[in-house]
Amino acid sequence: AAAKRKRDVAAARPKKRAKKAPSAPGVDAKPSPDGAGPEEYSIPPPVSQGKWKNKERVLIFSSRGINFRTRHLMQDLRTLMPHSKADTKMDRKDQLGVINEVCEMKNCNKCIFLEAKKKQDLYMWLSNIPQGPSAKFLVQNVHTLAELKMTGNCLRGSRPLLSFDPIFDKEPHYALLKELFIQIFSTPQYHPKSQPFVDHVFTFTVTDERIWFRNYQIIEEDASLVEIGPRFVLNLIKIFQGSFGGPTLYENPHYQSPNTHRRLLRLSMAAKLREKLQVKEVQKIKKTGSKALIGEDPTEVVFKTPAEEKPVEIQLVKPEVKPIVKDKKKLRKIQRKKQKKHFRTEA
C-alpha cells in the first residue's frame, strides 16, 4: 500500500515546463508547438563547442643525444601547438622510416622530428605522413622561451596567425614549404585543447637564403607586436617527395654542412698562423741581408793601431808560499820580520 501511494504521488506531480518570456528584438525565439508564438529563448552554443573538422595532429619528438637547448625548444613547440603529441626519444640505430609507423600508432598525420648529430648539430624534419612530402632543415641560432627575456606573453592554447614573406609566393619550393608550414603550425579550428582567441603571430621570413622563425604577441591597445619567443633559423637542405625519404624534389645549392664550415674555419686559422710565420722569416732575412750588403772597407786598417808587445818573463824560481794567518797582528809581525831581514842583507 505504501508503495502504491508513492507511485500515485509521483504520478500526480506536474512536469517542469521551460521558462517563457516575451520575444525581444535581436533574440531568436522558438515558436511553441501549438503555433501560438515564440515562447522559449534559444541561446547559441559557445565558439569552442563547434564541430572539429580539420583533425590535424602533429607528433613532436627527437632522437637521443640532444642537448638541453634542443630539449627546451621541443617543449616550447609543444606548448605553442595544442594539437601536438609527444613520444619517447628515438634510438640512433633506427632508420627514419620507422617514424611513419610511430605516427600511425599515435594517430598523427604530421611530424616534427629533431635529429641531433655529434651532440652539436641539430636537424629538423617536417613531414606529411604517410605520402609526403618532407623537408630537412639545419637549425641554427636557437633561443628558447627560458633564456630569452621577452616582455610579451600570450594565452596558452590560443590560435596563432601565420605571416609569410612575399618570396613564399614567387618560388615553387618556397610555396611548397608554405603549405607545409600552414598545415603543421596552424591550430585547427574548434580543437578541444585550443582557445577561441587569436593573440600571437608566427612569422616566417626569408633572409640570407634561410627561413627565420619568430613569435610575436598582438597588443590590443595599439595593435603593435612584442616578441615572445622561441626563435630559430632554418637552413633548408633538401625537399623529398616521400615521407622521410624518396626522390629529391629540391636541393639547396647555397647549403654548407657544419663539418665543411668548421673545416674552413680551421683552415683560415692555420692560414693566419702560416702568414705570421712567413712575416717573421722575412724580417729575419731582411736583418741578415742588410749586414751582408755592406762590404769591407780597405781604408779601415789605417785606424787600427797595433798594441805594444810585452816581453815574456819566464819564472824559474818557485814562488814562496804565503802563510795563511787569520790573526792580523801576527801577520804584521811576520811582515816586519821580513822587512828587517831585507834591510840587513842590503846593509
Q: List, as one string, the DSSP characters of 300-332.
A: GGGG--PPPPPPP----SPPPPPP--S-HHHHH
Q: How far apart are the first and last CA of the chain?
A: 180
Beta-strand relationship, 58-62 and 110-117: parallel
Who has greater pLDDT, 154 or 30? Answer: 154
Q: What is the pLDDT of residues 35-44, one digit of tens each?
A: 555 556 676 5
Q: What is the DSSP-derived secondary structure letter of residue 14?
A: P
Lookup: cell for 63: 632522437
Residue 282: pLDDT above 50? yes
Q: What are phi and psi of 136, to 5 degrees?
A: -115, 130
Q: Does residue 287 register a pLDDT over 90?
A: no
Top CATH class of 58-148+164-186+234-260 equals alpha beta
The whole-angstrom separation of Cα 297 and Cα 304 is 13
Cβ contact 162:186 at 8 Å: yes
Amino acid residing at 206: V
Contact status, residue 74 vs residue 88, Cβ threshold 8 Å: no
CB 58 within 8 A of CB 83: yes
Q: Which three cell numbers, joined as nine digits, stand for 13?
A: 506531480
Q: What is the pLDDT of residues 222-252, one digit of tens each?
A: 778 889 889 999 999 999 999 998 999 999 9
- 76-132 tens-digit pLDDT: 999 999 999 999 999 888 888 899 999 999 999 999 999 999 888 999 999 998 888
- In terms of pLDDT, which residue wins out, 315 or 178? 178
Q: What is the C-alpha to C-alpha distance for residues 135 and 90, in angstroms, rounded to an integer?
A: 19
Structural domain spans, the chain: 58-148+164-186+234-260
**pTM assigned to the model:** 0.65
Q: Tell me 63's DSSP state.
A: B
